[in-house]
Amino acid sequence: MKITFYWTDGRTEPWLDGFRAALPGTEFTPWVPGAPAADYAVVWSPPQAFFDEQTQLKAVFNMGAGVDALMKLNIPALTQVVRLDDAGMSVQMAEYVCHAVIRHFRELDAYEADTRAGKWSYRKPRVRTDFPVGVMGLGVLGTRVVQALKRFDFPVNAWSRSPKALDGVRGFAGTEQLDDFLAASKVLVCLMPLTPETQDILNHRNLSLLQPGGYVINVARGGHLVDDDLIALLDSGHLAGATLDVFRQEPLPSAHPFWQHPNITVTPHTSARTLREESIAQIASKITAMAQGLPVAGVVGRARGY
Ligand code: NAP
Ligand code: GLV
């Protein structure tokens, strides 16, 4: 079996060593133009030339959960696209989102500023029921985030494409219920895939529907958020703040106003990292299953785009 590998985000060797150890007897080599035809591919953001040459692949394994970069490419119809299915990401995402929600709810930024100024301050405790959290996207990551938020007794709303029932969560589905979902939420967490339907969904109209003093946490993709609309709503006071992990252009350009905005916290696309050991184990076991003709989880629906 031949597997080709395309990865530009860091050192390739530890990945190659890990895959070779997990799949002994396979030929696992980095892709270069003109490389021999492979059976499977493991990739992150390959160029179109990759698929123009590798037209016979049975499956391409994406080294992340989001396949938006792949969906922009022309991939042969018979090649299955498989996304990372948790692989240690959901617990990271739950940590990150709970941290951001609690930081805002408990006004920890303000306390820290006071502490730095040597001031022993008092703030009236906020009421948890005044902080309903709305999670957009109830998939692998959204479900774990919702469960974690519930442990802190926040009222939780969730919005997905198809209706879902989760204990203790107020569920909304489809475009017809989007406005009600937003109006029921004060903190908004975006955890949807970036598709033509979700592009620019965090826009002025939709964010205006959040309860006054709203807070936005975008951990999905920068293309969900209309940057100027967020800034306008923060500056008008309708929104109180935002925590942003993903951006239209990454790295976020140094002149971008998000860096300096007093109510925006920026992190460098780090909320849920691809973990090497977990990812290698998951992809290797899926390749083994596929080679035996067995079905695997995480196959992307090309028509829906995720
Ligand atoms: P997933 O399992 O595919 O779940 C996607 C969820 O979004 C599903 O609940 C789906 O609804 C919902 N959805 C899709 N299109 C929708 C629409 N048009 N309207 C309403 N709901 C819609 O994805 P995941 O593994 O949870 O990951 C979500 C995203 O997080 C990824 O695509 C990626 O962009 C991002 N991500 C970011 C990081 C980071 O470090 N910042 C790390 C990993 C992933 P249904 O349930 O009805 O299908
Ligand atoms: C990271 O952003 C991912 O999609 O896994």
Pocket test of ligand 1: the residue of 141, 180, 198, 206 to mutate, having most ligand atoms within 8 Å of its CB, is 141
pLDDT of residue 8: 84
Q: Is the pLDDT of residue 10 over 80?
A: no
| pLDDT at 139 (0 to 100) | 98
Which band of pLDDT confidence, cut at 50, 70 and 90, is reported for residue 9?
confident
pLDDT at 237 over 90: yes
Residue in 148, 157, 139 with CA at minimum distance from that of residue 100:
148
| Residue written as token pair 């990551």 | 141
* Predicted pLDDT at 28: 95
- The answer, yes or no, to whether any atom of ligand 2 lies below 6 A from the CB of 18, is no
Q: What is the mean pLDDT of residues 92-98?
A: 99
What torsion, rounded to 10 degrees, do the Cα atoms 175, 179, 185, 190 define? 40
- Average pLDDT in the 10-19 region? 92
Average pLDDT value for residue range 72-88: 98
Q: Report the pLDDT value the prediction gives residue 287, as an integer from 0 to 100.
A: 98
> Catalytic residue among 269, 273, 302, 304, which?
269
CB 65 near ligand 2, within 6 Å = yes
State in words which class domain 90-266 has: alpha beta
Whether 69 is in the pocket of ligand 1, judged by its Cβ within 6 Å, is no
pLDDT computed for residue 135 by the predictor:
98
- Indicate if ligand 2 lies below 6 Å from the C-beta of 194: no
Closest-lying ligand 1 atom to the alpha carbon of residue 142: 26
Domain boundaries, the chain: 2-87+274-291, 90-266
Identical fold between 2-87+274-291 and 90-266: yes
DSSP class of 162? S
266-303 confidence digits (pLDDT tens): 999 999 999 999 999 999 999 999 999 999 999 999 99
Tell which atom from ligand 1 comes closest to the C-alpha of 219: 41
Nearest CA to 177 out of 219, 221, 138 is that of 138
**Is 269 assigned a catalytic role?**
yes
pLDDT in tens, 152-162: 999 999 999 99
Q: Going by CA atoms, what residue is nearest to atom 18 of ligand 1? A: 197
Which residue, by CA, sits nearest to atom 37 of ligand 1?
220
Percent of the chain predicted with pLDDT > 90: 99
At residue 25, φ and ψ (nearest 5 deg) are 90, -5
Q: Which ligand 2 atom sits nearest the alpha carbon of residue 246?
A: 2
CATH number of 2-87+274-291, picked from 3.30.1360.40, 3.40.190.10, 3.40.50.720, 3.40.50.880: 3.40.50.720
Q: Is the pLDDT score of 262 beyond 80?
A: yes
Secondary structure class of 298 (helix, strand, coil): coil
Instruction: Tell me how far apart the alpha carbons of residues 86 and 272 are, in angstroms, rounded to a whole number.
Output: 9
- By most ligand atoms within 8 Å of CB, the mutation choice from 62, 72, 157, 160 for ligand 1 is 160
The one catalytic residue in 104, 144, 161, 221 is 221
Protein residue with its CA nearest to atom 5 in ligand 2 = 64
Q: What pLDDT, in 10s, does the model give residues 171-195?
A: 999 999 999 999 999 999 999 999 9
**What is the rounded average pLDDT for all residues in the chain?**
97
Instruction: Give the mean model confidence (pLDDT) for residues 87-112.
Output: 98
Residue 11 pLDDT = 87
Ligand closest to the CA atom of residue 142: 1
Question: Residue 100: left (phi > 0), alpha (psi -120 to 50), or beta?
Answer: alpha
99-112: average pLDDT: 98
Band the pLDDT of 20: cuts 50, 70, 90.
very high
State mean pLDDT over 73-77.
98
The stretch 209-236 carries a mean pLDDT of 98
- Ligand 2 pocket test: which of 250, 274, 300 has the largest number of ligand atoms within 8 Å of its C-beta? 274
Question: At CA 25, angle to CA 20 and CA 28, rounded to 5?
Answer: 45
Closest ligand to the CA of 220? 1
pLDDT confidence tier of residue 22, bands split at 50, 70 and 90: very high
Does residue 64 have its Cβ closer than 6 Å to ligand 2?
A: yes
Q: In what order do the strands lie in the sheet with 133-136?
A: 169-173, 156-160, 133-136, 187-190, 214-218, 239-244, 264-266
Position 254 pLDDT exceeds 80? yes
Q: What is the pLDDT of residues 115-147, one digit of tens each?
A: 999 999 999 999 999 999 999 999 999 999 999
pLDDT confidence of residue 257: 98
Asked whether residue 2 carries a pLDDT value surpassing 80, the answer given is yes
